[in-house]
Chains A and B, each alone.
Chain A
Amino acid sequence: MSGVQGALVHHGRSREIEGDVVALEPAMGDSTLLTVRVPSAVAAEIRPGRFFDILCRPDGSSDPLLRRPYSVFASDPARAELQFLVRPYGRGSAWLARRRRGDVLDLLGPLGNAYTLDPGARHLLMVAGGVGVAPLVLLAREAVASGRNVVFLLGAADASGLLAAGHLPSAVEYVVATDDGSKGHRGFVTDLVPDYVRWADQVFACGPEPMYRSLRNGLLPLRIGNRPRVQVSMEREMACGLGACLGCVVETKRGMRTSCVEGPVFDMDDVRW
């Protein structure tokens, strides 16, 4: 690694950056929480829901070919650090989870839009499935810092797959569900949603698509009109991350929209399910 650590590579407007791995710690079962040092200007651009496309292969290799999208779990502009939650379920993520302190990563970003907090919203319900917890942890921290009330629901296969409560601000009401009942509610995280619908001004979700379908079905009879508003982060296979390849589109009521530039966050009512 030559040159300035974490410096912007070539053109100032380029979003290809280098990030130094400064820490790795186990989190949520087999996942790893990866801390990366980036230019502080980049860390300052982070909004909950935005992501980086990370190159997950050694130098000189063509495989795995494509970058992998990772939402930001935490951002610390003062220390110029970002955190990503990496679950090793494929070749790229497994490579990323095996990095060591001092390794240099190639990141493209930050990319995409972000969750938006309505100015008048006081009560926020967050619904996370597995590693979908990442952008919502960042959102919960911001929401609490701005004086809002947050209920944070997380679902996992078993107790070992849950996020330690210490990652969330203490003011957050943290409620969990596990498939095997080893902790919290036995069943789906979406089973918990009806208890909070009337309380919530806004709902934010991040998880697999079946979770969204279940969330939507559970909400349909309980919502009054389109209240509360629901935002979901749509996960798609991605190639370019810049809206060029049209490989990651989401079908919306306004037509096909790219998940990488016009998403990943969409209004649930805008998506054609």
Chain B
Amino acid sequence: MTTMWKGPSRVPEPEDPPGPDLSVDLAPGNPRELRLTNPVIAASGCFGYGLEYAGVIDVQTLGAFVSKGITRRPRSGNPMPRIAETPAGMLNAIGLQNPGIAGLIRKYPRIWETWRVPAIVNISAESVEEYAEMAAILDEQPGIAGIEVNVSCPNVARGGYCFGWDPGMSAEVTAAVRAATTLPLLVKLSPGAVDIVSVALAVEEAGADAVSLINTLVGMAIDTRRRRPVLANATGGLSGPAIKPVALRMVYQVAGSVRIPVVGMGGISSTEDALEFLMAGASAIEIGTAIFVQPSLPLEVIAGLEVWMRAQGVENLGEVVGAAHPAGIPLRRSHAQVAS
């Protein structure tokens, strides 16, 4: 069955030439660095806090994982139903159910500290000050390799407008978080922005170490029998293979403009999909919804990338990043050999 991974196609022999270099630094401009052994990251909201999958796959093999989005205070989330399947995709309106930053700190950093895999904490907030406050709290914690700032959560609207739709507001959040922590900082961009490239450039200018994109697209489904929205929240975030072409286009556009590393995501479900995002200019990729379907997929993609690199004679993944741009992309220092 092709959907299931049966391990690397062959075990490397001692006389094999050194393996290809899949490593990546997502914060090359930051002394604290965010160095990953490979570019495959489990996406926020799809991997819990890492422990949920620790008994199912070898979590330590991942490039990194991003925690479920946390907020300043605990949240019990939206009413049910919270998820709805759509063609080749799914809608979710979980509503940021989480134990709050204090609850997270009580339980996870001391576990993550003992892990080899970098843990990135995803944060959401309802004001610039709250973002900064959370970043300052995380700055002092062990076991946290970086922060992913969610400026684009489509479900928790306060005042009706999302930070991530506006370059100025996104930059304001980024600058405040940057001032509050020296931790590597990824800003996760919203596909709902009028011009996502402007937002990316604004957060780069404001001090982001990297940008990750895309968050989910706002969508809905209607139950015609009940004549009501399927989700209790009416709208939700669309994810899965259905959004991949849109995500790829946005990664291609952003990677063509910014100089910081780009982390691409949106419907990635195979090694081939991951390669598309890398060629579009992503230095690393996140896998989200596909993990729900196949928990081992990220490991399959890591092995698949290595097999592909050997077959293609690619020694460093940096050779592939942005390859689809006819005129190339701005130089970035996410991969060692590209920087030299």
Contacts and interface: CB of A to CB of B under 8 A. Distances in A.
Interface of A: 1-3, 9-11, 13-16, 18, 55, 59-60, 62-67, 104, 106, 108, 236-249, 251, 255-256, 261
B15 to A, nearest CB: 26
Contacts of B57: 11, 14
Q: Which of B6, B48, B53 has the most A CB atoms < 10 Å from its CB?
A: B48
A246 B82 contact: yes
A242 B295 contact: yes
Contact of B3 (A14, A55, A238): A55
Given A242-B53, A244-B47, A245-B94, A63 B4 contact: no
A9 B4 contact: yes
Given A14-B295, A15-B56, A55-B3, 8 more contacts: A9-B6, A11-B57, A65-B89, A237-B83, A244-B46, A244-B291, A249-B77, A256-B76
Contact of B92 (A9, A60, A245): A245
Given A16-B296, A18-B4, A245-B292, A66 B90 contact: yes
Among B1, B5, B82, find the residue whose CB has the most chain A CB atoms closer than 10 A: B1
Given A59-B1, A67-B293, A243-B52, A236 B80 contact: yes
A66 B85 CA distance: 7
Interface string B52-65: 11011110000000
A14 to B, nearest CB: 6
24 contacts: A2-B6, A3-B6, A9-B4, A10-B5, A10-B299, A14-B295, A15-B55, A18-B1, A64-B85, A237-B82, A239-B83, A239-B90, A241-B292, A242-B48, A242-B52, A244-B47, A244-B291, A245-B46, A245-B48, A245-B94, A246-B77, A249-B82, A251-B80, A256-B76
Nearest to B89: A65
B87 interface: yes
A242 B5 contact: no
Nearest to B74: A255
B220 to A, nearest CB: 15
A92 B4 CA distance: 19
B79 to A, nearest CB: 8
Contact of B289 (A65, A238, A243): A65
Nearest to B241: A62
A256 B97 contact: yes
- Quick one: which of A2, A106, A244 has the most chain B CB within 10 A? A244
Given A66-B85, A66-B292, A249-B77, A243 B48 contact: yes
B312 to A, nearest CB: 23
Nearest to A1: B1
B90 A16 contact: no
A65 B97 contact: no
A86 to B, nearest CB: 18
Contacts of A256: 76-77, 97
A60 B53 CA distance: 24
Contacts of B294: 16
A66 B45 CA distance: 16
B56 A247 contact: no
Contacts of B80: 236, 249, 251
Contacts of B2: 59-60
A11 B46 CA distance: 20
The B contact surface, by secondary structure, is: loop
A51 to B, nearest CB: 15
A67 B90 CA distance: 12
Interface residues of B, number: 46
Nearest to B47: A244
Contacts of A248: 82-83
A104 B1 contact: yes
A240 B46 contact: yes
Interface in B29-82: 45-48, 52-53, 55-58, 68, 76-77, 80-82
Contacts of B88: 62-63, 65
Nearest to B240: A65
A236 B84 CA distance: 11
A261 B86 CA distance: 24
Contacts of A108: 295
Nearest to B87: A63
Contacts of A14: 56-57, 295-296
A247 B291 contact: no
Contacts of A18: 1, 4
Contacts of B212: none
Nearest to A63: B88
Contacts of B45: 245
A239 B292 contact: yes
Interface centre among B82, B84, B89, B291 (most CB of A within 10 A): B82
A17 to B, nearest CB: 9
B77 A10 contact: no
A65 B6 contact: no
B7 interface: yes
User: Sorted from nearest, which 6 A-B pairs have the closest CB atoms?
Assistant: A244-B48, A247-B83, A62-B241, A244-B52, A62-B88, A240-B292
